[in-house]
Structure 1
Amino acid sequence: MSEPRIAVIDNHGQFTHLEGRALRDAGVDAEILDNDTPPAEIDADGIVLSGGPSMDRIGRTEEYLDLGVPVLGVCLGHQAIAELLGGRVESGEYGGYADVDVTIAADGDPLVGSLAPGVRTWASHADEVAEVPEGFTVTAESDVCGVEAMSDADRGLYGVQWHPEVSHTERGQEVFENFVEICR
């Protein structure tokens, strides 16, 4: 079986290049594409929606959710999935980046279940998912945020509030490896 190809959609975040590297380190062909890339030009078995500065700058993200491949949203990407599909995003009580202890709420989840019972992460909570869209399950939480991760495994849609691609996050590479398995 050939390795999956994964497109990393650049939402102008400061860590996007690290997401591409984490996927390449997991042994897959990963290409970073700007978020205005026409969906028809994306040849991938999975998509990672990067973090970024603002919901106003998510480009064609909504169209990428309809490509029929698994999608992992990281930080802003996670928030975009929630908002575009009928959830709710609000300003968080804690801005800026900080260490956050996350509790895995769904240990059978294909994306974050292997991290149970919990993991220390690096995250910004300037904005956060306050309500998940219909069909999604909250898969991780913390004392800072009630929706640290969410999944709709039936549709192959996943999101994490934290940044698994940075060295400050424990077991972050495992999140990308789990996503690669989902894309297989």
Structure 2
Amino acid sequence: MTRIVVVDNHGQFTHLEHRALRDMGVETEIIDNTTPAEEIDADGLVLSGGPDIENIGNCADYLDLDVPVLGICLGMQVVADELGGRVGEGEYGGYADVTVEILDDEDPLVGSLAPETRVWASHADEVKEVPEGFARTARSDVCGVEAMADPDRDLYGVQWHPEVAHTEEGEEVFENFRAVCE
């Protein structure tokens, strides 16, 4: 059975990410972001959202575990920031229902959602430039980088929250990530 661990960056939806995976039949657990990398045994990691990029614990170390990683909201920003991208304040701000345009229908994580999908996202902070090796895979009218991917390293990120009911095809994002982890 595929085991995907959810790293808790102290966001309000972490338990929903865990539940979405569990309901799909994935073996999963929530671990705190201070867990030492060497103690993690997983086929994949979800870096949850959270309130503060200054409080990401050992998330940078988790990127070196050689397992697929899905960063959600703050989790995506952590991936970008740690690997040489740029994160900054969003122009739009708080949570909103957003139409996202999928830019790469071949992308293993979000390609199946093409040509567009409706999502629930926070844009207080967002990725402004993707790191080297990554492609921007989705955009919206309020955010230039709604999703990014580096399939060669199995590193993915979405600005939106696939775990909430307001995101139309959120379960499909988790199903696609499970397929990457298998």
Count of residue pairs the alignment pairs up: 182
Other structure's SS at 1:24 match: helix
**Equivalence for 2:25:** 27
Task: State whether structure 2 residue 162 is matched by structure 1 residue 156.
Answer: no
The one-letter code of the counterpart of 1:98 is A
Other structure's SS at 1:20 match: helix
The one-letter code of the counterpart of 2:12 is Q
Q: What do residues 135-160 of structure 1 show as CA deviations (whole Å, max 9, x unaligned)?
A: 00000000111100000000000000
**Equivalence for 2:131:** 133
The one-letter code of the counterpart of 1:78 is M
Partners in 2 of 1:104 and 1:30 — Cα distance?
Answer: 28
Q: What do residues 143-181 of structure 1 show as CA deviations (whole Å, max 9, x unaligned)?
A: 111100000000000000000000000010000000000
Partners in 1 of 2:136 and 2:87 — Cα distance?
Answer: 14
TM-score normalised per structure 1 = 0.98
**Equivalence for 1:145:** 143
The one-letter code of the counterpart of 2:29 is E
Cα displacement (A) at 1:25: 1.4
Other structure's SS at 1:128 match: strand
Q: Which runs of 5+ in 2 are unaligned?
A: none
**Equivalence for 1:173:** 171
Other structure's SS at 1:55 match: coil
Cα displacement (A) at 1:99: 0.4
Matches within 5 A, 1:1-184: 3-184=1-182
CA RMSD of superposed structures (Å): 0.5
Partners in 2 of 1:53 and 1:174 — Cα distance?
Answer: 25
Other structure's SS at 2:54 match: helix
Cα displacement (A) at 1:96: 1.1
Q: What do residues 63-106 of structure 1 show as CA deviations (whole Å, max 9, x unaligned)?
A: 00000000000000000000000000010011111001000000
Cα displacement (A) at 1:27: 1.2
Q: Which runs of 5+ in 1 are unaligned?
A: none
Other structure's SS at 1:56 match: coil
